[in-house]
Amino acid sequence: MNQGATSLKDYLDVVRRRKFSLIVPFAAIFLLSSAIAIILPPIYKSTSTILIEEQEIPADFVMATVTSFAEQRLQSIHQRIISTSRLLDIINRFRLYDDLKGKLTNEQIVSRMRRSIKLETISAEVVDRRTGRPSSATIAFTLTYEGKGVPEKVQRVANVLASLFLKENLQVRERQTKETYQFLEDEMKKLRLQLDEIEAKIAAFKGRHIDELPELFQVNLQSLESTERNIDRLNEQLRSLKEREGYLQTQLASLAPTDKMNEDMRRLRELRVELANLQTRFTDAYPDVIKTKQEIARLEEQIAADGGSSDGGRPDNPAYVTLASQLASTQADIESVKRQVGDLRRKANEYRLRIEASPKVEEGYKVLLIERNNTQMKFDDLMQKYMEAKVAHGLEKEQKGERFTLIDPARLPEKPYKPNRMAIILIGLILGVAAGVATVSVRELTDSSVRNAEALSMATQFPVLAGIPEIRTAGDLRRRRRMRLVKIAALILICVCGLVVVHFWVMDLHIFWARLMRRLAM
């Protein structure tokens, strides 16, 4: 490695040495990006613009019953249009995505088409007639379809989608107004029967919510607080009992059920300690070690036999019996406390439900009272609204209300919307240069070769007496000729990619010039 490569000549020497490492990554990435730019299919976009017009008859004379905002109605219609059945019908009619029908399911194809349909609203600042303040309102929207293949097909699909929006809006508004006056008619019939039923409802309501009435709210709250205090006290007692249970289990585990087993276990522990001491000083073949192991085995067999055949399994160790009885008593107390906690928690949940239901019960009770006092007034009001709803239905049926108007139909796309082939090629050019420079830098930094007398003298601190020139063999000459051919091929490929770039650039310039001439002609 050249230790003092700081001048321009040093960098040029590095480039000459590593030219292949610079050219190959650059050519590979540049060719890959060029291939991607050429292979990617063109995607066209066609857009329709639809205006939202207000109703022709003033709202002071006829009030429309469709009260939803334009954005909400647009989203509702949009969801109906992009339903699976409708999109499948459009796909089959125009033979869209034929190349994917054998690879993807219908649901996946429909999902891909949904992503190709975009709805964007156009808002403007208008003055609200009721408040007199400026506000933002949706006055129009655009419907865009993106697709690959034939531009005429993309335009036809965009027009079909726009016509579906217009048709669906008329049907939705007419259906909503019709459902409104029919609903009001049904409500009027019901109100005639409600006056006789309201008193019975109030009595039944009180019977169903006898424990949830508002006047019992404080009583339920105090009962809940008392129950929670008892639960806390029992939980503290339960923790103490569990601690005692753990202590007794630990003590019980250290005792044997019989006195004889206690003596054997003590002797067994002593022998194990003695064996550990012997093994630290002698090998396993030492007689004392062998004898101790045999005695330990004999005692373990005896303890196992005594544990399985001692007096029907009844322990005779007084300390063991005492601890076992205490453990059983503690466990019984734990189960009793758990049952008490469970009962109190069920009661607390009942009190909470009553407290939570009290505001709703009070609200329902007030609603019943208001309904009883205003039923006759409500019937008269419904009669008036019913007549207005019938007039509004006629308004929508004659298409005099708010409507969608197609002001800019979908146009034939003259140029692919994407991909941006020039951008892809330029990015590949930049990445290729960066990859080549990075490859050269890494190979140069990891190369520890000494290439001249100055670098050798600096590295060894000894003067260089003589230098042997480069000796080129026939094999070296053949390798140089092969490298020259590789360079020529890489140069040809780069030239071809450059011609492709120039071709796309000329095409874009031609399209831009054609559009400019058309605008000047207009």
Helix (H), strand (E), coil (C) string for 68-134: CCHHHHHHHHHHHHCCHHHHHHHHHHHCCCHHHCCCCCHHHHHHHHHHHEEEEEEEEEEECCCCCCE
Q: Is residue 340 located within the same domain as residue 224?
A: yes
Domain with 447, as residue range(s), is 8-40+419-521
pLDDT for 310 equals 43
Q: Is residue 434 located within the same domain as residue 308?
A: no
Q: Is residue 369 located within the same domain as residue 489?
A: no
Q: Does 320 reside within a domain?
A: yes
Q: Is residue 368 located within the same domain as residue 429?
A: no
Work out the burial of residue 319: count CB atoms within 10 Å of its CB; fewer than 13 is exposed, 13-18 middle, 19 or more buried.
Answer: middle
Q: Is residue 298 located within the same domain as residue 426?
A: no
Q: Does 117 reside within a domain?
A: no
**428 touches 32 (CB < 8 A):** yes
Q: How many domains does the chain have?
A: 2
Q: Is residue 359 located within the same domain as residue 303?
A: yes
pTM exceeds 0.75: no
pLDDT for 3 equals 47
Q: Is residue 322 located within the same domain as residue 226?
A: yes
Mean pLDDT per 10-residue section of the chain, whose length is 522 residues: 57 73 80 79 88 64 53 83 89 86 87 90 73 74 86 89 86 76 80 82 78 77 86 88 79 60 66 76 79 82 61 59 80 86 86 81 78 80 76 62 78 81 83 84 73 66 68 73 74 67 57 56 57
Q: Is residue 374 located within the same domain as residue 423?
A: no
Left if phi > 0, otherwise alpha if psi is -120 to 50, otherwise beta: which for 145?
beta
pLDDT for 144 equals 92
How many Å apart are CA 283 and CA 289, to the nearest integer? 8
Q: Is residue 372 located within the same domain as residue 236?
A: yes
Q: Is residue 362 located within the same domain as residue 238?
A: yes
pLDDT for 295 equals 83
